[in-house]
Structure 1
Amino acid sequence: MSIALDLSSDLHRYANTLHRPMCDLLGCTWPVVLAGMGGVSRAELVTAVTVAGGFGFLGMVREPTSLILKEVREVRAGTDRKFGVNLIPAATPVGLLDAQIATCIEIGVPVVSLFWDVIPAIVRRLRDAGITVAYQIGSIGEARSAEAAGVNFLIVQGREAGGHVRGTQPLAVLLPEVVAGTRLPVLAAGGITEGADVATALSLGAQGVVLGTAMIPTRESFAHSYHKQRIVDAGEHETLLTDSFHINWPKGARVRVLANSVTRGERGDPFGACGTNGTESTVIGEEEGRPIYLFSTDSPLRSMTGDFEAMALYAGKGAERISDITGAATRLHQIVLQAGALLDPGVASVLDRKESAIALSEHMGDERHRTTGRHALLATLNELLEAERAGARVASQMVVEIAEPSLKQMMIAVRQDEARWCGVLTKAIQSLDGSPSRRTGAFYEKAMAVADLWQRMAFLNRGQAWVVRKLHALLPGVDEKQLRAELTAMLASHQENIRLVERQLEAATGGAPPGSA
C-alpha cells in the first residue's frame, strides 16, 4: 500500500495548511526537505523521505560518479517523485566536480543543490541543462550573489545548523533578512527538529524547511549507529562550532559537532605536523579500504570501522530534542502534524476559504465597493501578518537569551502562538487571492533596541495589545464566517498571552513597572 493511502485525516488536512509554492516546484506534499548530508543521505533515506511526502537530496560530496549513478538508480527504483543531488564545489577536486556535474546532466537529475562559494558558471551550466538549482547561503550578500547567478531558490542556513556552517547569524535573524532582501523563494535550515521550528520558519517567510540532524537518527540513515545514538543521548548545549575537522575542506571552515576528545584538545593540535594533510595524519578508521584520518571531515557511517568517538559527530542545536531512533517517515509525519496543529488547528481548506471569500465579495454590494472592501481587508490582514512576524522574531530571540526554564517555556509558547497566526493570516490572504507580505513589521527593530530583557518583554506586550486593538476594530466589518472565527480566536489568544506575560512581569518586578526605581 502506498504511503498516500495511509495518511491520517489530519495529515490530509495539513497538506493544505502547510502547502507553499515550493511544494509545486519540488513535487512534494510537505514543504520539508532532507538535507544532502555527505555520506548520510543515501538512496534509502532519500527514498523514504520522498515517498512519505517530503523532498530528499542525495549527499554526493566528493563521491565518484559511479556512486552517483548507483544511488540515483536506487532512488528511481523506489519512487517516481522528484529528488535532488547535493554537490559542494569548494570541497571537491576540479576534475571530479566536472565529472559529477556532467553525470547529473546526463542522467537528468531534477534538482542540484550547491554550497559554499557561489560559482555562476556552474549555475549556468546546470540551468542550461534544465536542472533546477538551489544554493545554500549564510549571509544576505551570498543570497544576492546566488540570485544574480540565476539559482531557482535559496536555502538559508542559520548558525544553529549541524555540519559545515557558512554564516554567523541565528536563523531567526538571517531568514527574514533574506526573505525581504531577495525575490527568490527560500527554505530555512539550522536547528529545525520539531513542528514548532517549522511553524516559526514559515511565519518568518520561509516556504519550507530543511532537516538534517533530525534525520540522522533514523533507521534509513546511512550514519553509523554510534553517531545516531550520540545524537539521541545529547544534552542541551552539547554541540559547538569548531574548525578542528578540516581535512578535505577549505581552511577555516567551521563545523557544528557534538563535543568529543578532538574538540576538548585531547587528540593534539589539528593544525600541527600531524594534522596538516591526509598523508601525515593519524589513521583512525577505514571505509572499504579507504583510510579515515584524524581531523578529517568524515563522520561515522555504516560502511566504516574505527575510532568513531574521534570522528566528526555532526549535529545541530536541536539535537537535545531528539529522543529516539525511528523511521524517517514517522519522524517526518510527526513534525508535519506538530506544525499543522500549530498553524491551522481544524480550519477549512483553501478551497473552502476561496468559496467563502466569493460570498463575502458578493455581500459587499456593487463591484466598486467589493474591490474597495477587499483591498482594505487585505491591507489590514497584511499589516497584522507583518506584526505577527515581528512578534515571532522577537520571541525567537528572547528564547535564546532567557535562561530561567519556566520563563523560557512561556516565551516558547508565545513564539509558537505568533507563528501559528502568521500561518492563519497567510492562508486567509491567499484565500482572498491576495499576496502575503514578505516584510517584517518595524516593531521588531524597535523591540530589539531595548536591551533590558524585562523591558523588552513589556514592549512585546504593548505590541500584543496593538494587535488586540487592531482586531477589535477589524472584526465588526468581517462578515465571512470562517475568517471571523479565526480572527476572534486570534484576539482571544493575544489577550491570554498578554495576561501570561503580565503575570511574569509582576512576579519579577513586584508589581512595579519594569525599569522603575
Structure 2
Amino acid sequence: MIDLADTAACRLLGCRVPLVLAGMGGVARHELVAAVTEAGGFGFLGMVREPVALIESEVAALRALGHTRFGVNLIPAATPAELLEAQLAACIRLQVPVIGLFWDIDPAIVARCRDAGMVVCWQVGSVDEAIAAERAGVDIIIAQGREAGGHVRGTRRLAELLPEVVAAVGRPVLAAGGLASGGDLVVARALGADGIVLGTALMATQEAFAHPYHKQRLLEAQAGDTVLTDIFHINWPIGAPVRVIRSSVTGGLFGRGDGGPRRVIGDEEGRPIHLFSTDSPLRSMTGDFALMALYAGTGIGKIEAIPPAGARMAALMEQARALLATPDAGNAAETSSPVCYAGEFNHAYMGNPEPGEFAATCDALASDLQQAVHLALADHAEQHAFDAPPFGHEAQAYAGWLLALAPDKDNPTSQVQTLPTLLGAMQARLDAIIARLPETDLRQLLSQLRQFLTLQQRRLAKPAPAQPDRPEILSASDR
C-alpha cells in the first residue's frame, strides 16, 4: 500500500500524516496546533494582525507542551507595515521553524525568512502566482481553490488548478479548498499534491478557538449554504473575496458599509468588532455573531459533529487508507483454480503474460485510471455548478485505485475520451490479462478492479438527478 505521508512536504514539515492545519486567524491557537501535531499532522498558528505578545505566548505554550515543529501564519497584505515588521522580527527571534504566508508575493520577505532558517510556505490562487512563489524561493506551495472558506485568492476550481500548479513548479504542493474527508486526500494525492490543508474541518473541533456559535452553524450548514462575497472588507485590501455562510449581511440587508459611521456589533476584550469586518466569532468575543463573518468552505456538508481534532484526523486517515486498501469494488470476483506445477514452465508455455507485456498493460491501466479521475472531476463540476465540494465520490474511487496500483504515475490533465468509453477500454485490457495470470494476490486485485469498473458502468447508465439552478453570489454589488 502507498504511504500517503511519504512526500517531500511531510519531510520538510516533519509530520507523520499529510494533513496540515490552515493558519486561520484567531481560530488556530496553540491548543488546536498541539492537537493536530499530536495526531501526526502539522499546524500553523493563525497570527494575522495579532500583537507580538500573543505570538510569543502562543509559541511558548506550544514549546511548553514539547512541540518543536509548527508554523506561524502571517498575511503581509492585510497587516500594517509597522506591525508586520514586528511580527517578522519576533518569528525570527523566536526561531519559528516554519512560516506560512498568503496574498501578494513578496520576494524580500521570502528571502528574509529563508535566511533565518525557516521553511517558507506560500498559499497561491493561480499558476502564475505559483511560478512567482517558486522564483522567490518558497519551499512549499499551497494551491488554493475557490471552494476554500475564509479569504480566497483564486477564482478556479481546485480540481483544475491543482494539477496545473503541480506541473508548473518543482516545489512540493499542498492542496487547499473545501477539503474535509479522507477521499479528498486520496484525490489530491492522485492529482500530484503532497498533502492537504484543512480549515473548516478543523475549525469544527473541540480545540479550535472559534466561538461555539460558529461551530454550531458549521454543523447546520451544507455546501450550498456558503457564498463567495467581498462584503466583509474591513481590515483587508478592497475586493478581497471571502467564503462564508450566507446571512442577512451577505444578502445585502445592511448595504455594503462603504460610507458613514461604523456600526459596532461585538467586542473582544475591549476591542470593538464592526459590521463588515473580517473578524469571525471567537471564544474571546461577545456580540451579535450572526452578523459576523462565518467562514466556511464547501466541504462543510461533511461536518456532522464537533470531535477532538485528533479524532477527526484519525477518521480522515482511516477513510483514505480504506480507499487504498479495499477500493470500492464490492466482493472480489471469482477466479479459476491455479494450474498444478505452473511454476515449472515459462510464461510463454503456460500462456501467461511475459513481464514486459504485463508491465505495458499495467502502465496503460494507470494512464486510463488517471484519465478516469479527471473525467469524473469534470463530470462532478458539470453536475454541481455552484458552491460544491471540489471532488466527488466517483473521483475518489478512481483515485483510490490509481494510488493502489501506480502511486508514482505522472499526472496528465488532457481528456480525450468519455468516461463510459474509457471504462470499456480498461475492462478489455483486464479481460485480456487476468485470464492468463496465475492465482496470486495481484490477480485477485485486478479481478476486483474489473468488478469495480462493471459497477461504475452500471451507475453511469442511470440518469443523473436534476440539479436546481442557484446562481452564486460573487460580489455584494452583483445583488
Question: Structure 1 length as normaliser, TM-score?
Answer: 0.79
Partner Cα separation in structure 2 for residue 381 and residue 123 of structure 1: 42
> Which amino acid in the other structure matches residue 270 of structure 2?
G
After superposition, the C-alpha distances for 1:93-133 in whole angstroms (9 at most, x for unaligned) are 11211221121112111111111111111111111111111
- Mapped to 1, the partners of 2:360 and 2:62 lie a distance apart of 45
State the SS of the aligned residue for 2:147.
coil
CA contact (8 A) 1:156 1:175 kept: yes
Rounded Cα–Cα distance in structure 2 between residues aligned with 1:377 and 1:251: 58
2:365 maps to 384
The partner residue of 2:409 within 437, 453, 463 is: 437
Q: Report the RMSD for the aligned CA atoms in angstroms.
A: 2.8
- Per-residue CA deviations over 1:15-53 (Å, capped at 9, x if unaligned) read x35543322222111100110000000000000011011
Q: Is the 8 A contact 1:36 1:85 kept in 2?
A: yes
Following the alignment from structure 2 to structure 1, what is the Cα–Cα distance between the partners of residues 375 and 114? 38
Q: Note if contact 1:173-1:393 (Cα within 8 Å) is conserved in structure 2.
A: no
Distance verdict in 2 for CA 1:245–1:501, change over 3 Å: same
1:215 aligns with 2:208: no
Do 2:34 and 2:67's aligned partners in 1 also have CA atoms closer than 8 Å?
Answer: no
Residue type matched to 1:493 in 2? F
Is the Cα–Cα contact under 8 Å of residues 137 and 155 in structure 1 kept in the other structure?
Answer: yes
1:486 maps to which residue?
Answer: 445
2:268 partner letter: E
Give the corresponding residue for 1:113. Answer: 100
User: Kindly, what percent of the aligned residue pairs are identical?
Assistant: 49
Pair 478,25 (structure 1): closer, same or farther in 2 beyond 3 Å: farther
Q: Distance in 2 between matches of 1:460 and 1:103?
A: 53
Give the TM-score of the pair, scaled to structure 2.
0.85
TM alignment of 1:114-513, pairs within 5 A: 114-271=101-258, 273-274=259-260, 280-345=261-326, 381-402=362-383, 412-427=392-407, 436-440=408-412, 442=414, 444=415, 446-447=416-417, 459-473=418-432, 475=434, 481-504=440-463
Report the secondary structure of 1:237's partner residue: helix
Instruction: Describe the shift of the 1:61–1:479 C-alpha distance in structure 2 as closer, same or farther (beyond 3 A).
Output: farther
The offset of 1:243, in angstroms, is 0.5
Check the 8 A contact 1:288/1:304 in 2, yes or no: yes
SS of aligned partner of 1:114:
strand
The C-alpha deviation readout for 1:335-372, integer Å capped at 9, x for no partner, is 111111012239xxxxxxxxxxxxxxxx999xxxxxx9
Deviation at 1:139, TM superposition (A): 0.5
Tell me the distance in 2 between the aligned counterparts of 1:20 and 1:56.
Answer: 17
Name the count of aligned residue pairs: 440
How has the CA–CA distance of structure 1 residues 381 and 176 changed in structure 2, closer, same or farther, with 3 Å as cutoff? farther
Q: What CA distance in whole angstroms lies between the structure 2 residues aligned with 1:123 and 1:379? A: 44
CA-CA distance at 1:373 after TM superposition: 5.0
Q: Which amino acid aligns with 1:32?
A: L
Cα drift, residue 487 of structure 1: 3.0
**Mapped partners of 1:460, 1:235: distance in 2:** 28
Find the aligned partners of 2:150 and 2:439 in 1 and give their Cα distance: 48
Structure 1 residue 470: deviation in Å? 3.1
Alpha-carbon distance in structure 2 between the residues aligned to 1:224 and 1:47: 19
Cα distance, 1:179 vs structure 2: 1.2
> Which of residues 16, 20, 30 is equivalent to 1:43?
30
Query: Please, which moves more after superposition, 378-387 or 494-503?
Result: 378-387
In 1, are the aligned partners of 2:4 and 2:17 still within 8 Å (CA)?
A: no
Cα displacement (A) at 1:164: 0.2
- Unpaired segments ≥5 residues, structure 2: 328-344, 348-353, 467-479
Match of 2:337 in 1: none
User: In the aligned structure 1, how far is the partner of 2:398 from the partner of 2:251?
Assistant: 39
Aligned counterpart for 1:55 among listed residues 21, 24, 42: 42
Q: Which moved more, 1:336-345 or 1:221-230?
A: 336-345
Please tell me whether residue 78 in structure 1 is matched to residue 65 in structure 2.
Answer: yes
User: Whose helix proportion is higher, 1 or 2?
Assistant: 1
**Cα distance in 1 between the residues matched to 2:23 and 2:440:** 44
**Shift, 1:489, TM fit:** 2.3
1:97 equivalenced with 2:84 (yes/no): yes
More relative contact order, 1 or 2 (CA 8 Å, 6+ apart): 2
Report how far residue 475 of structure 1 moved: 5.0
Residue in 1 that maps onto 2:474: none
Retained in 1: the 8 A contact 2:130–2:165? yes
Distance 1:415 1:478 in 2: 28
- Which position in structure 2 is the counterpart of 1:452? none
Q: Structure 1 residue 161: deviation in Å?
A: 0.3
